[in-house]
Amino acid sequence: MQVFGLVGSPVEHSLSPPMHEAAYEELGLDARYVTFEPARADLEAALLGADALGIDGLNVTIPFKQAVRDLVDVDDLAARVGAVNTVDFSGSEPTGHNTDVAGVQRAFAHHDVALAERRAVVVGAGGAGRAAAFALADAGADVQVANRTVETAAELAEDVGGTGHALDDVPSLLADADVLVNATSVGMETDESPVPADALHADLAVLDAVYTPLRTRLLRDAEAAGATTVDGAWMLLFQGVAAFELWTGRDAPVDAMNRVLRARL
Ligand code: NAP
């Protein structure tokens, strides 16, 4: 039996176990997906133990995505993003990867949103913001970053060849933008949006990384403005799809994983 899992804190309400187990069931794989919540001080021991026990792959979530980067060999993308969300134990040494980037790119691709040479605005510069900015820049978009803490926006913007901005600049940035990603936590469990509704327009494709609720205030405003909308469950789904494919070398049963994920949301 193969064993995969998730390391983070808290992980109790994670949607990754049902999403991945739906894939195993669909493909008839003899595999399980379990959650682990080690203390921060035990993270390195936990990874060594996972390797020694023959665990095949681990996802990594808050608050360990940055710390794991310093504990395993990381691929070029995870090194550039500065965060690991997937560890693969199949080689002689564990390797760290970042499938949040693929999650953003595949979420847009699934909605037929082209990114090459498009003007993109990322609002938020934390973990999700970094993944979104690299996803868009690597796909060939021109990326501007806005954040409550402008210094963090400037740092991320520099990493992806754009400019950092304050949140107040977002309406003017959006005027001639094609793509918007909300990567702040604004709208999570509240009916707030980080972007004024009147800054949204029909030529935008809007991805909200927030997925609780699925139809956030931002996405409802975007829909009303005639924009294309992509909810955060698509990003969550496709980061899991990319991890599944990395670990198993097989095409993921995307529909089965999506069905279970949306049923849980
Ligand atoms: P994070 O690293 O803690 O970053 C939080 C971001 O939100 C920062 O840019 C922060 O700005 C900003 N922010 C927080 N409160 C704000 C407020 N009141 N006004 C304006 N900006 C505010 O968190 P994260 O991991 O990037 O997660 C951000 C969101 O994305 C969460 O809702 C999370 O659930 C979601 N997410 C979704 C996926 C997915 O697969 N769909 C994956 C990862 C995360 P400062 O820098 O100024 O603090």
pLDDT digits (tens, 9 = 90+) for 155-175: 999 999 999 999 999 999 999
3-state secondary structure 22-43: HHHHHHCCCEEEEEECCCHHHH
Q: Is 184 exposed, middle or buried (0-12, 13-18, 19+ CB in 10 A)?
A: buried
- Distance, CA of 4 to CA of 112 (rounded, Å): 31
Residues 21 and 52 in one domain: yes
Same domain, 32 and 84: yes
Residues 6+ apart with CB under 8 A from 91: none
| Angle at which helices 127-138 and 100-110 cross, to 10° | 60
In this structure, the answer to whether residues 67 and 160 fall within a common structural domain is no
- Decide the pairing of beta strands 86-88 and 57-60: antiparallel
* Alpha-carbon dihedral sign for residues 85, 120, 76, 19: positive
Q: Are residues 106 and 213 in the same domain?
A: yes
CATH classification at residue 222 = 3.40.50.720
Closest ligand 1 atom to Cα of 184:
7
Q: Do 75 and 194 fall into the same domain?
A: no
The tokens for 125 are 């510069």
Q: Are residues 71 and 115 in the same domain?
A: no
State how many domains the chain has.
2
**Spatial strand order in the sheet of 119-123:** 164-165, 142-146, 119-123, 179-182, 205-208, 228-230
Q: Are residues 210 and 129 in the same domain?
A: yes
Same domain, 201 and 219: yes
Q: Which of 98, 123, 134, 184 to mutate to test the pocket of ligand 1 (most atoms within 8 A of CB)?
A: 184
C-beta 153 within 6 A of ligand 1: no
How far is CA 54 from each of CA 48, 57, 159, rounded to the nearest angstrom? 10, 9, 36
Query: What sections of the chain are H helices per DSSP?
Result: 16-27, 43-52, 65-69, 76-81, 100-110, 127-138, 150-160, 170-175, 217-224, 232-248, 254-264
Ranges of the chain whose pLDDT falls below 70? none
82/201 same-domain check: no
- pLDDT tens digits, one per residue of 208-242: 999 999 999 999 999 999 999 999 999 999 999 99
- Regarding whether 106 and 208 lie in a shared domain, the answer is yes
141 is in which domain, residue-wise?
101-230
CA distance 209 to 206: 10
Domain CATH code at residue 63: 3.40.50.10860
pTM of the model: 0.97
Evaluate whether 17 touches 33 at the Cβ level (below 8 Å). yes
186 lines ligand 1 (CB under 6 A): yes
Claim to verify: residue 118 and residue 217 sit in the same structural domain: yes
* Catalytic (active-site) positions: 65
Do 82 and 109 lie in a common domain?
Answer: no
CB hemisphere CA count around 235 (13 angstroms): 24
Any atom of ligand 1 within 6 Å of the Cβ of 127: yes
What pLDDT is stored for residue 188 in this prediction?
96
pLDDT of residue 4: 98
103: Cβ below 6 Å to ligand 1?
yes
Please tell me the distance between residue 55's alpha carbon and the centre of ligand 1 in angstroms: 30
Contacts 24+ apart (CB under 8 A), 151-158: 152/125, 152/126, 153/125, 155/125, 156/122, 156/125, 156/129, 156/130, 157/133
